[in-house]
Each structure stands twice: as structure tokens, then as C-alpha cells.
Structure 1
Amino acid sequence: MISEDLLSTLSELANVLQTQRTLGGALANIAEAATTSVPRCDAASVALSLSGRPVTASATARVALELDVVQYDLHHGPCLTTFRRAEALRLDLVGLEAQMPHFAVAARRRGVVAVMSVPAIWGQETIATLNIYSRTGTFDESAEAVAAVLATQVTIAVSRSPEFAAARDVVEQAQRDADDLSDVSVATGMLMANQSCTAEQASGLLRQAAEHDERTIVEVAQRIIRQHRAT
């Protein structure tokens, strides 16, 4: 059952979110609400998934941001596990060195003894996580229940945000550009090996083939790679 305090917090949060014009502002308010409504929450953050890459969109304290970044650097931790499994995770960091040694050490250095990560799910996708950090004790089921309610607010805020859609488009285009550049680089190397030519000469061959076939250099590079793999 939702407590009167939580109902009051949600009511206040709903009023605030209606006046927010940016996604960042909305997420900041949700994270701040976690620090007042989730038992033993000392810091909170909201991490968004942009084309599978986590990025912290809001944090109530430096420690939350730092521990989010630690996980991104390690490619491991409760936030990333929640993204992958789409389920809430509560961890007591005491004795967790065997499972997440580097993260556990980083957290305890900052005085954090427990962490909880709850997914914000939109359709079949985890689009964000609400990450809760404690310096005072572990999280129980009641704390998780409150965090889950707030995670739903994250889903609503993100799903309605044109900023999120635009950010995803930018990241996806950047990834496509990087993939295209990689294909051109690979094809150039193949031509250098097969034609015994320099990188400049190989680039010239790619340009000539693209002009002759009325294709882009990327399309020609991808064709060369396919032909090489087929032999």
C-alpha cells in the first residue's frame, strides 16, 4: 500500500513535472523526490539508454554521478545489470567484492554501503534506470516499491520528451557514421594488400570505382568487403 507521505510526494511531483519544459528538469525533480521518499536514499541518479549506451541525465549528488561513471568505465555494475535484465536490483555492498570487486571498492571508498537500481520500461525496452545510493543502510522491499513508482514517472517523462528522441537520433547517426568510416578503412586496407599500393592510391581506387558505378564510397567499400569475405 502506498503511504500518505508517498502520495503527497507524488502529487507534488506531478504538479512540478507539469511545469517542466525540459527532460533534464523533469528527471532532476524525480531524482530529488527519491532522496525524500525512498527510505535510506542518500543520493540518486537517472541514467538514460541512448542506442544501448548509458548516460547519466540527472544526479542529486556528486557521489551518484561518480559511481554511475565508474560503472560505465568498467562496463559492469548494478545500473548496467538492470539495463540488461530489465529488473530491479538491490545490493548490500558489504561482502560483494567477489561479484563486483572494482565497483564495490569504489562505492565503499565513497562511504556507500548499498545500492539499488530500478528499470524504467517503455514497451519492451528499458529506456532508463533510477539508481539509488545509501550511506546509512540497505534497501528493503518497501524501498524498492517506492523506487518503482518513481521509475514509472521516469518512463512517462522520457517517453513524452522530444529531446530524448532527438538525442537518440544524433547518437544513432554518429554510430552509423563511425561504422561507415570503419568500412572505408577496412576496404582501403584490403586494396593496399591486394593491389600492393599505398593508402593514398587505395583511396583513389575507391573514389574512381564510386564515380564509375555512381555509388558512394561507403557502398563501394562495403561491396569490396563482401567480395573479400565470399572468397
Structure 2
Amino acid sequence: MRGQPVTRKHQMAGELPEIFARVAGLLLTESVVDGAVANIAQAAHETLAGSVGAGGTLIDVQGRPTSTASTNSLVEEADRLQYDLGEGPCLSAWASGRAVRVDDLRQEDRWPEWSAASARLGLMSCISVPMLVPDVNGASEPEPIGALKVYADQPHAFDEHSEQVLSLLAGPAALFLSNLQARERAAHVSEVLKDALHSRSLVDMAKGVLMERLRVSERGALQVMITRSRAEETLLSAVARDIIEPATDPRQMS
């Protein structure tokens, strides 16, 4: 009895554990956005046969890349061309929320400038898939936060199966990157708030020093600091620090 032929469906089922294992490894080992994007790009390069390099890009709502990573300088240059020209498969995948495949850059007319320039670099075909973050409530379409792309130096190096594999890798990667972005934004806001509170504390302390030293009101002390800040073209917190330090320096108090 002859065995059943291996179908695309069976092949995808066999690849799923390996793909998700790659992503799981990223979730466990990376804690910053830029590093995670680099690891995901490397995983894409290693996953797709025929790849000569891969890249990952997170893009803001204005279409500007915020975090990018490339497995080599060839991919970096191809991506840079997309951002400089404002056209290419990566930007199209992000904007449309759909996978974009280029079978032969020498015959590609959707992005003529980018295609011609990339072909001169030795790139012949590529795939770009969006990194989509689903709406937790299911009320709206998934949000594209960037794109994952793989390049080849041969035409027709990728097919529909390649798109499916890359999309499987991009899905959980997008969710992970979105969570990392949120964490980094929260940490940044926290630092800004701490700096603001620290600056306010310095100003309040400096006002107290001036009120005692100059025998002026709180408003008068603040006006002295503001005048000095403008004259020296420096921050109010820096003026406050200069006022406080001599007042608390033991050498100045002896």
C-alpha cells in the first residue's frame, strides 16, 4: 500500500511547532524592542529556504520606521531605499495589512524606483508580511504595527506557502513587540514623571533657601530664580540646584 502524498496542509502542520518554538524563544529571552526585532528578523531568515537576508520594521501611524533590524547590510540598504523613496513591499504590506510578494524585481512595476534600485543590489525576489496586533475585543480590524520581510537573490524564490510560513512567524511576534512597546512607553513616562517631580522638589527647596537668605516672599524667591534662569539661559531646575548645593555644602556652613 502506497503512502499518502505530503500535502501543503500536512507540511504546514509539521512546520508549526518549529515556528512557534522560535517565537517562544524570543518571548523568553528578549526584553527590549530593538533586540526583539533583530531576533525576529534572524528567525525569519533562518526559517525560509532561499533567503539571503531578512528584516523587521516597526512603523508609526505616519509611516515612519521607529525600530528596524536587518540580518545584513544588503537588507539594510534595500530597506533604507524603501524609507527614502516612500515606496516598496514593506510599506505596502504595513499599509494594506496583507502579505506582498515580488517574484522578480526586474519585472516589478508597482514600485519602479525601489525595484530597479534593489535589483541593482542583486536582490531578485522578496516577501513582506504585516505584523498585525488583533483588537482584544474583536470590534475592529487588527492593527498593523510594522512588517517582516525576507529577500532572495533568485527570482521566484518564494511562493504562497512561504507567505503562510512568514505570516505565522509574524503573528505572535507582533503581539510580543506591541507589549514590549507598551512597556517601554510606560517606563519612559515613569522616568519623565520622576524627573518632573524631582525638578519641582528642587525648585521648592531653592525657594525656601532664598526666602530665608534674602528675606523675600515665596513669590519673590521664584521671581529671582526665573530672572536668573533667563539671564543664564538655563533650566529652572539647574538654577535651583546651584542655589541648594552651596546651602547644603558643609564647607560653606563651617
TM class, shorter-chain normalised? 0.5 to 0.7
Q: Verify: 1:155 aligned to 2:174, yes or no.
A: yes
Length-normalised TM-score, structure 2: 0.60
Find the residue that maps to 1:160 and give its secondary structure.
helix
Q: Which residue, out of 152, 163, 168, partners 1:134?
A: 152
**1:1-231 superposed matches below 5 A:** 1=9, 2=12, 4-5=14-15, 7-55=17-65, 56-92=67-103, 93-96=105-108, 98-122=109-133, 123=135, 124=141, 125-138=143-156, 139-162=158-181, 166=185
Q: Which amino acid in the other structure matches residue 164 of structure 2?
A: A
**Distance in 2, Cα, partners of 1:136 & 1:78:** 17
For each residue in 1:136-158, what CA deviation from the matched residue of structure 2 results, as whole angstroms up to 9, or x when unmatched? 33210110011001111321222
Match for 2:63: what amino acid? R
> What do the CA deviations read for 1:200-228 (whole angstroms, capped 9, x no partner)?
xxxxxxxxxxxxxxxxxxxxxxxxxxxxx
Identity of aligned residues (%): 30
* Divergent runs of 4+, >4 A: none
Tell me if the contact between 1:121 and 1:127 (Cα under 8 Å) persists in the aligned partners: yes
CA contact (8 A) 1:43 1:63 kept: yes
Normalising by structure 1, what TM-score?
0.65
Quote the Cα distance in structure 2 between the aligned partners of 1:166 and 1:65: 26
In the alignment, structure 2 segments of 5+ residues that lack a partner are 1-8, 136-140, 190-254
* Aligned-partner SS, 1:128: strand
Contact 1:45 1:65 in 2 (8 A): yes
SS at match of 2:64: strand
Q: 1:82 to 1:164 in 2, by over 3 A?
A: farther
Give per-residue Cα distances to partners, 1:47-89, cap 9 Å, x unaligned. Answer: 1112323325211111111111111111111111112211110
> Is the 2:56–2:68 Cα contact (8 Å) retained in structure 1?
yes
1:35 maps to a residue whose letter is H
The superposition leaves residues 20-65 of structure 1 with CA deviations (integer Å, 9 ceiling, x where unpaired) of 1112222212111111111322111111112323325211111111
Is the Cα contact below 8 Å between 1:128 and 1:154 reproduced in 2? no
Two-structure CA RMSD over aligned residues (Å): 2.3
Mark the runs of 5 or more structure 1 residues left unpaired by the alignment.
171-231
Q: What letter matches 1:40 in structure 2?
A: G
Query: What is the distance in 1 between the residues matched to 2:121 and 2:159?
Result: 21
Task: Give the CA deviation at 1:8.
Answer: 2.4
Partners in 2 of 1:18 and 1:64 — Cα distance?
A: 26
Aligned partner of residue 107 in structure 2, secondary structure = coil
Secondary structure class of the residue paired with 1:53: coil
Native 8 Å contact 1:23 1:163 kept in 2: no
**2-structure distance, mates of 1:163, 1:66:** 29
Does the 8 Å contact 2:54/2:150 carry over to 1? yes
